[in-house]
Structures are given as structure tokens and as C-alpha cells.
Amino acid sequence: MSPLPPKLLDSPITVSPVRDSRDLEVFIDLPWEIYAESEMWVPPLKNDVRDILTEKNPFWQHAEKELFLAKLGGRVVGRCAAIADQVYVDFHEEKCGFFGFFECIDDKAVAVALITAAREWLAKKGMLMMRGPASPSFNEECGILVEGFDDPPAILMPYTLSYYPALLEAAGLHKAKDLLSYTIPTGNPIPPRIEKMAARVSRNGNISVRSMRKNRWDDELKIVRDIYNEAWEKNWGFTPMTSEELDLMAENLKPILDPEAVHFVEVDGAVVAFSIMLPDVNQVLKHLNGKLGIWEMLKFFYYYRKIDRLRLVTLGVKKEFRGRGFEVLLYRETWITARRKGWVNAELGWILEDNDKMNRGMEALTGRVYKIHRIYEQQLPQSGE
């Protein structure tokens, strides 16, 4: 965002809820001003953001929100959402709400005003803790970037400016957990250690790996949802996805999902593990400026052929089959597929900083941490305090 005139900076800060469609469009458009000078930020498709924030998103069937806009002298300079998700509260038995969709100029007073509005709204909803950013949950974009500002974000990962951590800390928030993202040069040969481990696991004749069956889309989707919700249920911050939420996510990703890049491990013909990787369509979205008209569609197909990076979005193994090396089989298939598709780099993440097993696995894959996103939190006053 271009520097504000000193007179405007001296204006009183006002924070008000989004009340109509015009406010919503202002809320959606603000990042284009905030990141106007950033070469790394990737503009999202505005229609996708609108769908996430409105009732088309089945997440709001079990969650409430309030969207806030901050203004200086009538000019919008920040935004934030307060989110209370009943599924999260029930699943974790924790009265924790979230803030998300946070964007702000480099002004601590504005950030404090936005976070205060979110905090007060959540406290009125009976929440005792606030975490974020989660936009709108940990199943979507989450975290503030604290390392890795010199690389553009991969698909479904946020990019934020370097002054954001200081803004949130000025508002009284502190670190809850860091999320690590690794980069791996998949254009290189598979590490011998991974090849040996995968070969050892594969010796059992009842184990096989296959790709997604596109003609059985609904069945494959149900398998993914069931294993995902089981495999991740003990993860910090996890919220189970409803069938409606997964269906919508699948519908949104279907145009870019390559069935050859989705893998299943079967034992005696039953699926016990899966992984999903996506071509990094952010390399395409960078050129579309949030639109998808006829001209942008032509650009989409042109730049899609130039994608050279993938993101391993998720990997899950059923409880009773953990510790048997099935992750290694999926890593090997990811690597083989990436080389075949011409994807020479991969992002794997995010991974919780204290998930030692997964982080050791990334190191075995020759991965290095190249981005760190941080989740912040703050206790909220109990009613009457």
C-alpha cells in the first residue's frame, strides 16, 4: 500500500463490522492495496474468496463469523475476521475461537484495534482462547509468515508481509506453534535410503500402491475423507471435515487435480494410506490478478504448461497401519510422479514444529525448511472479568 498522508495517519481509527455486499467487496479487495508493492504475493481468485466467506461454504453451517474493517479518515486500512467454530469446540472440548483473514497496513494501533474487535466478539460468544490466523480453519490457509519472505507461496499457503508478526505481538498475541514447510529438489534422483526403505516395505506381496481412479471419484473421495479425519485427529488444531466441506474442496480442486498425483496404499486390496499432491497453480494465478474471464482462461492454459513445482498437500495413514513404512512408499511415488511430470521442485508442508517423526522424514528426503508460518494465541477474559 502506498504511504498514507500524515494527516490521515493522525485521524481516529474506527473498526466496524461488514454489513452489506459493498462492505464485503471492500473486505475482499483490500489485499490488492496491502500487497501492491510485493513481488512475492499471489492474488487469489476473488470469486474463490467470496465463496469461502459466504454461505456457499458449508463450514458456516457449524461456525459463526464477524468480519471487521478498520478505517483511518474513512480509508480502509485493515481487515480481520472473528470465527467461532462449534465443531472445533466440541471436538477438542476447548472454548477456543479464531481470528483470520487478517490484513493490515504497518500500523500497530490499527492492528490492535482489529484484534481487540475480534477478541471482544469471541469473548461474547463464550470463548476463553483465541488463535490464528486461520482463514477460516486449519483445513484452509493459516499462519503468519515469519521466515521465507523471498519465495512466493505454494498453492493453498498464505504469504504475509514481514511486519505482520510485530503487529500481532503489539496486540498482545504470542506464539502458539510454528508450521514448517520444506522444499525438495524432486528433479534429483530419489535418495538411496528412501529407495531401500521403500523396497523393503514392498517385499510384502499383499501391499500395493495405485493412483486415483477418476471414474470412481465419489468412492475415492470418501476414502480420503475417512482416512484424513482419522489420521489427523490427534494433530494440534485439527478440525474434522464434514462430507459437505470435503465435497466443496474437491469440487474446487478438481479442475487442477491430476489423478496420477493422488496415491493410495492398499493392503490386501483395502486402502490404508493416501497422499495428495497438486501442481503449484499459484505459478499460474500470479498472472491472473484475481480474475478468471475469457482472457484469463487463455493465460491459465498457457502458464499451466509451465508449472515446475508441486505441493504435497496431505498424507494420511490409518492408525493400525502406522509405523510400517507406508509413508515411504508414498514419498517414493510422489518423487517418481514429479519427475515424470516435469515438476523439479516440491513443497512439503505444513508440518508442526514438534512433529519429530515427520520432520525427520523430511530430512531423509533431503528437504530443508524454507518457510515458517506461525500460529498466535491469546487467552480471553472470562465473562464478568
Q: What is the CATH number of the domain that holds 359?
A: 3.40.630.30
Could you give the dihedral angle defined by the CA atoms of residues 141, 145, 150 and 151, in that order, rounded to the nearest 10 degrees? Answer: -20
**Structurally, how many domains does the chain consist of?**
2
Mean pLDDT across the stretch 136-159? 96
> Residue written as cell 513445482?
309
- For residues 258 and 215, state if they share a domain: yes
The dihedral through the CA atoms of 239, 314, 226, 49 has a sign that is: positive
384 falls within a domain: no
Is residue 37 in a domain? yes
Question: Does residue 171 sit in the same domain as residue 241?
Answer: no
Do 204 and 298 fall into the same domain?
Answer: yes
Regarding whether 303 and 240 lie in a shared domain, the answer is yes
Q: Does residue 192 sit in the same domain as residue 265?
A: yes
At 215, the pLDDT band (50, 70, 90 cuts) reads confident
Task: Render pLDDT for 348-379 as a digit per residue (tens, 0 to 9).
Answer: 989 999 999 889 989 989 999 999 999 999 99
- Closest by CA position to 81, among listed 46, 48, 130: 130
The answer, yes or no, to whether residue 212 has pLDDT greater than 80, is: yes
Q: How confident is the model at residue 7 (pLDDT cuts 50, 70, 90)?
A: low
Domain presence at residue 1: no
Vertex 184 angle, CA 312 and 271, to 5°: 35
Same structural domain, 124 and 43: yes
List, in sequence order, every residue forming a beta bridge with 75; answer none if it has no partner: 72
Residue 2: per-residue pLDDT: 59
Q: Is the pTM of this model over 0.95?
A: no
- Confidence tier at 112 by pLDDT (50, 70, 90): very high
> What does the pLDDT look like over 70-91, one tens digit per residue?
999 889 999 999 999 999 999 9
Mark whether 160 and 244 lie in a shared domain.
no
Q: Quick one: pLDDT at residue 3?
A: 63
Same domain, yes or no: 239 and 315: yes
Provide the greatest CA pair distance for the chain: 74
Residues 6+ apart with CB under 8 A from 306: 283
Contact predicate 182/73, CB 8 Å? no
Same domain as 203, residue 169: no
* Sequential DSSP letters for 70-97: EEETTEEEEEEEEEEEHHHHHHHT--EE
Is position 123 within any domain?
yes
Q: Same structural domain for residues 141 and 250? A: no
Q: What is the mean pLDDT of residues 37-44?
A: 97
pLDDT of residue 246: 85
> 139 with 56, same domain?
yes
Residue 278's domain comprises 184-371
Residue 142 — φ and ψ, nearest 5°? -150, 155
Q: Is 162 in contact with 146 (CB distance < 8 Å)?
A: no
In a domain, 212, yes or no: yes
Pick the closest to residue 364 from 159, 110, 193 (CA basis).
193
- What is the per-residue pLDDT across 247-287, written as a single tens digit (0 to 9) for each? 888 888 888 889 999 999 999 999 999 999 999 999 999 99
In this structure, the number of other CB atoms found within 10 A of the CB of residue 206 comes to: 9
> What integer pLDDT is reported at residue 8 of this predicted model?
64
First-residue to last-residue Cα distance in the chain: 38
Asked whether residue 136 falls in the same domain as residue 156, the answer is yes
Q: d(Cα 291, Cα 72) in Å, to the nearest integer?
A: 28
